[in-house]
Structure 1
Amino acid sequence: MSTGTEAPPSFEPNSISLVSVEDSKISSISLYSSRAEITRIFRFSVKIGLNQVNINGLPNVLDQASLRVEGTGDATIHDVTISSIPPPEKPTTSPKLEELLRQKKATEQSIDRCSLAINSLQTYLGTLNVKDVAVSEVANIVKTYQKTGEELDNQINKLRDQLEKTDAQINTERKNLTGPTENQDLMMKVAVGVFASEEGEVEFRLIYAVHRASWQALYDVRVDVHSKEKPVELTYKASITQSTGEDWKDIDLTLETAEPTFGVDIPRLFPWTISAYRPTLGGFKKRSVAVPLVATRALASAALLGGPAGGSSDIEFRSEMRQQEAFVNSKGNITATFGVPGKINIPSDGATHNVTIIKLNLEATMHWVTVPKQEAKTHLSAKIKNASDYTFLAGQASIYVNGSFIARIGIPPVSPEESFECPLGLDSSVRVTYHPRTRKTSRSGFYSKITTQVYTQHITVNNTKTTAVNDLKVTDQFPVSDDSTVTVKQLNPGLPNVNKELMPGEIKIPEPLKVSPGVFAQWSGADEPDINVELLGRDGKFDWICSVPPQGKIDLLLQYEVISPSRAEITGL
């Protein structure tokens, strides 16, 4: 047995310095709507015992609470700390720089002296008088002036060239003093204490979240209205922006986010009420017509990143775990995860970079909507079914109909197998005429005089297409009285009074009323999925659902009567 003693192990930590952008590679990025989660891989050798690993050059926009350190190897992480890197002190002058500055000053003074000499020569020439100078001497004076001026000009040009060279040398010397310009956006530092039981190579995975990175969904929707099978080609894109200070080079990118809903710009009918003037001591009192405000709703949510704080201790390295590979993981109509195919590059320039996620051919049904009381125009719309595994996030879409750009609209969040409305602009081939309204007035009664006014409104729809328009919705309304002395009777179309015909507790949606061949009438909202039957028809709004043959025409009739006291002046009509 040997009786010799072995040297005790050293307790001085082994220092390892790494620069993030030079000594590691980004393995993956999960990009959210307002920030990104980045995974960086470091590989380096450690010695037995304590190793102090310093990683410099991390982004200033790093979320410190999100920092995690993982890895593989026979070692244990003892502590993780994060801090900012103070700017290094750099010299501002040197003997060479001071000498160059002196040369520059001397050259500038020489240029000033030459300029002053030229000015003095010109002043002298200007003071000569014919009485003092003989004619025979004028030629010699002019020749001497030209020669002296030329010599001074040449001297000034040489001095200016010399000044230019000196300025260039000064700039070079100042750059040598300050050294290369550092990226001021990468001034964070992470220190990790690692205790290794044996010497060898280990792998670090540094995972952290950064701000100033985002993406939005974009779409190109191309519709062929003449195609009967899958008339919609939808290109799903991602618009990516980042200015984190790190360039994302040759990375695997995963997109995750949630976006708000949108509204469709089709004219709306507001409540239409009528009432009567009532005489008062001060004259007539006019009852006001209330027009409610229309409120829009916006759904907004954000996907959150999280992770343990940086000061964890005794975190053991774990073996590398295989992750389930999923190109698309749809989680509903709010959140979704997409794996962008291939490797991509996104520099830290704050510019917009578009990548294509997928192109889809989708089924759609076309329908037309017109509100001729507001505008005699016909809107074309498509109900598109998302028959894919992708969740559509809310985003802007460029709409093309038969190859022509129509509009830029918003698309709502749409889950797989869900449908959404896509406005396709105006269809000028379906022409609507809202004829002038007519009125007939009659009076009756012996003691209590009553005035009855019958209003008639004609609407003509002309289909100039060579194909039928099978789903045209024409929206109009009856007036609604909020005065007990004024009665409105709906004559045509004779839609049922839902509120009176329903039994207590009964919920029944009335069937559409057939008006004429290919024309049905119903209360507005009767075909909506979340209809409130008790409110159906209460606002007087209704729809004609029409099928118009090719090159065909249909006539629609709206008729109602208003009954009021003879001397009442009706407002709102």
Structure 2
Amino acid sequence: MTTDHPPAFESTGSIELQSVADSKIISVSLYSSRAEITRLYKFPVKTGQNQVNISGLPSVLEAESLRVEGRGAATIHDVTVSTATGEHTPTSSPELTTLLSKREKTSAALARCEKSIASLEQYLGSLSVQHLDVYKLEDLMDNYECTGSKLDDKKTDLTEELRLLDADIVLERERIAVPHENDKLRVKAAIRVFAQAEGDVEIALIYAVPRATWTAFYDIRVDMNAKEDPITLIYKAAITQNTGESWDDVPLTLETSTPTFGLDIPQLSPWNLDIDRYAGFTKSKKRSRSYTPGSMAINYSERRKESEGGSRGAMLSYDDGILEPMQIQGASVTSKGNFSATFRVPGLVSIASDGEAHNFTIVELSLKAEMSWISVPKVDVKAHINARITNASEYTLLSGSASVYVDGSFISRSDVPAVSPQESFDCPLGVDPSIRITYHPIIKKLSHSGFYNKSANHVFSQRITVFNTKSISIDRLKIVDQIPTSQNSQIEVKLVSPALILPSENSGGSGGTLKGTSSKNPPAAQTVNVARGVVAHWDGVDEPDCAVESLGLDRKLNWICSVAAQTKINLALDWEVTVSPASVKVIGL
């Protein structure tokens, strides 16, 4: 529609439109905490001023977000938004009227039945021997029994019917006591439209509503025997809306971004040092001076202003610069830089305003993953599986829960973090029972050395057996163990096997040292080849943010193993503890 100043014409009257009946939702963009709705209205106008009154818009509509667009030979002058008043809760309904009428008739019938029973009893009681022919006594009693039985059955039926009617009346009164759905659609929009000529025009109302949200959740299916792309990730959306209007056969887009417009870059306040002039005052006096009402009022007003500005910006922020959708299996995705994406749900969807979750599949992705196993047999001999999954797709994964299936069996529930395209994340896959680990009892030996100042030498040997019962080999099995840490200069801990040493020559605890026995390893050796397919190193070496100077300080070490199918391997951890003098009692040994 044009925005030029129209010529002066008198008003031609008003056009009354009911939003749900006289329009159709042509677009829904759903964010994490609100939805943007586009409704299209088509109606005829006359030459001159037309007052268009649209009723039945959602009561939760955010008035500041309302935009009006149109097509046709007309000009939009102004838009006014208001809320309908005078609504009341209904106290009656046709169904309730019918039930009350039935109850009145049933109650009257029951009263007549009870009166008939009373009359029958009164008649029988009025009879005496002189008035009764003894030969007719049997017939009289038979008639009394038959009539009384019929009346009793009728009374029972009427009583039950009355009880059911009373229950139905209670339910109907409760139903009509609930505000009608129209109470959720009480916002009105008044639009002045000037038409250059008589004809049909189209007006689109675009507005934001809260009480609408979507969350991501996933099914992660793992094929342990697959060499390529062992992970199938099914990306799903749970959509909930209670806006007051149903979304019937609408095109739906899901936005991964969360509007944060109106938030400024944080600013650092001055950081000043000064002398405490109130050092002689009591704490209570200082406290009363620090929290003055004036300073609280200023802080509150500033925070309130920032909060209101941030909220208003979120309501008004809608991105119209949608890039061309890129088709991907099952859905389309539009990438917006590296910050967000828009998913177009295939086809048309219908979502009732019922507050219930409606689930849709966004896409099914085949992803690469690096499988690994980890066990801490000193605590638990179970081998835990972990998948390092790379999101090699164009989809931004939102944080959400995931149901994990391994080889078709449900294993566990996990959490998927927020993952950008080409980013990786870890997904625990539960316990692998086909990897059997034995943590053998520790072997201890004690000897003494020295003549005047005897020392006690404690030698420890820990054996670990790993048995891969699978029909395929496994790589990247991590076994985690530890040796003790000395906290006293009279205690020396020496690692024998595997022959790891610390990055620095003397990095033990308070006076305690850890020394390697192999002269073949340089002072900074961090990795040792123990056997074919088995490498030992300090715990943390394989972490991306590893700090070399901290390696070995906690005395934890790892074996990284490759184990062939149906094969056992043995690992050995040997260390010595020397205590001088031997009479010293060691805690924790």
Q: Choose from 460, 467, 473 the match for 1:462.
A: 467
CA deviations on 1:226-277 (whole Å, 9 max, x unpaired) are 2222222322222222222222222221111369xxxxxxxxxxxxxxxxxx
Residue matched to 1:33? 32
CA deviations on 1:133-159 (whole Å, 9 max, x unpaired) are 885463354245346547856986999
CA contact (8 A) 1:380 1:426 kept: yes
Q: CA deviation at 1:205?
A: 1.8
Residue matched to 2:559? 544
Residue matched to 1:477? 482
CA contact (8 A) 1:333 1:392 kept: no
After TM superposition, the structure 1 stretch with the greater mean CA deviation from structure 2, 20-29 or 223-232, is 223-232
Q: CA deviation at 1:463?
A: 1.7
Residue matched to 1:366? 371
Q: Does 1:571 align with 2:587?
A: yes
Does the residue aligned with 1:526 lie in a helix, a strand or coil?
coil
After TM superposition, the structure 1 stretch with the greater mean CA deviation from structure 2, 335-344 or 42-51, is 42-51
Instruction: Note the 1:392-411 alignment, pairs <5 A.
Output: 392-411=397-416
Does the residue aligned with 1:545 lie in a helix, a strand or coil?
strand
The one-letter code of the counterpart of 1:428 is: P
Instruction: Measure the CA separation in 2 of the matches of 1:242 and 1:201.
Output: 33
CA contact (8 A) 1:332 1:415 kept: no
Unaligned runs of 5+ in 1: 1-7, 260-301, 310-320, 503-507
Q: Would the alpha carbon gap of residues 60 and 566 (structure 1) be closer, same or farther in structure 2, given more than 3 Å must change?
A: farther
Residue matched to 1:517? 532
Instruction: Measure the CA separation in 1 of the matches of 2:233 and 2:455.
Output: 61
How high is the TM-score relative to the length of structure 1? 0.74
Does the residue aligned with 2:183 lie in a helix, a strand or coil?
coil
Instruction: Measure the CA separation in 2 of the matches of 1:448 and 1:406.
Output: 59
Instruction: Measure the CA separation in 2 of the matches of 1:387 and 1:31.
Output: 25
CA deviations on 1:350-402 (whole Å, 9 max, x unpaired) are 33322222222222232221111121111223322222211222222232323
Q: Does 1:306 align with 2:306?
A: no
Instruction: Measure the CA separation in 1 of the matches of 2:238 and 2:560.
Output: 40
Q: Choose from 549, 560, 573 the match for 2:575.
A: 560
Instruction: Measure the CA separation in 2 of the matches of 1:525 and 1:356.
Output: 39
Instruction: Measure the CA separation in 2 of the matches of 1:348 and 1:474.
Output: 53
Instruction: Measure the CA separation in 1 of the matches of 2:317 and 2:395.
Output: 31
The one-letter code of the counterpart of 2:404 is: I
After TM superposition, the structure 1 stretch with the greater mean CA deviation from structure 2, 557-566 or 200-209, is 557-566
CA contact (8 A) 1:258 1:394 kept: no
Residue matched to 1:424? 429
Instruction: Measure the CA separation in 2 of the matches of 1:552 and 1:102.
Output: 85
Does the residue aligned with 1:381 lie in a helix, a strand or coil?
strand
After TM superposition, the structure 1 stretch with the greater mean CA deviation from structure 2, 216-225 or 18-27, is 216-225
Residues matched between the structures, number: 501
Instruction: Note the 1:191-210 alignment, pairs <5 A.
Output: 191-210=190-209
Does the residue aligned with 1:348 lie in a helix, a strand or coil?
coil
Instruction: Measure the CA separation in 1 of the matches of 2:321 and 2:558.
Output: 58
Does the residue aligned with 2:144 lie in a helix, a strand or coil?
helix
Residue matched to 2:340? 335
Instruction: Measure the CA separation in 1 of the matches of 2:72 and 2:506.
Output: 78
Q: Would the alpha carbon gap of residues 459 and 213 (structure 1) be closer, same or farther in structure 2, given more than 3 Å must change?
A: same
Residue matched to 2:81? 82
After TM superposition, the structure 1 stretch with the greater mean CA deviation from structure 2, 429-438 or 398-407, is 398-407
CA contact (8 A) 1:477 1:540 kept: yes
Instruction: Note the 1:13-28 alignment, pairs <5 A.
Output: 14-28=13-27
Instruction: Measure the CA separation in 2 of the matches of 1:103 and 1:221.
Output: 58
Q: Does 1:439 align with 2:439?
A: no
Instruction: Note the 1:277-316 alignment, pairs <5 A.
Output: 305-307=314-316
Instruction: Measure the CA separation in 2 of the matches of 1:448 and 1:161.
Output: 102
Instruction: Measure the CA separation in 1 of the matches of 2:413 and 2:313.
Output: 30
Q: CA deviation at 1:547?
A: 1.4
Residue matched to 1:220? 219
The one of the two structures with greater contact order (alpha-carbon pairs below 8 A, sep at least 6) is 1
Q: CA deviation at 1:468?
A: 1.9
Q: Choose from 478, 503, 527 the match for 2:542.
A: 527
Structure with greater helix share of residues:
2
Residue matched to 1:237? 236
Q: Would the alpha carbon gap of residues 199 and 522 (structure 1) be closer, same or farther in structure 2, given more than 3 Å must change?
A: same
Instruction: Measure the CA separation in 2 of the matches of 1:99 and 1:527.
Output: 78
CA contact (8 A) 1:68 1:307 kept: no
The one-letter code of the counterpart of 1:335 is: S
CA contact (8 A) 2:246 2:353 kept: yes
Does the residue aligned with 1:62 lie in a helix, a strand or coil?
coil
CA contact (8 A) 2:12 2:46 kept: no
CA contact (8 A) 1:214 1:242 kept: yes
Q: Would the alpha carbon gap of residues 422 and 258 (structure 1) be closer, same or farther in structure 2, given more than 3 Å must change?
A: farther
Does the residue aligned with 2:578 lie in a helix, a strand or coil?
strand
The one-letter code of the counterpart of 1:549 is: A
Does the residue aligned with 1:142 lie in a helix, a strand or coil?
helix
Percent identity of paired positions between Structure 1 and Structure 2: 50
Q: CA deviation at 1:110?
A: 5.6
Does the residue aligned with 1:488 lie in a helix, a strand or coil?
strand
How high is the TM-score relative to the length of structure 2? 0.73
Instruction: Measure the CA separation in 1 of the matches of 2:97 and 2:536.
Output: 93
CA contact (8 A) 2:242 2:354 kept: yes
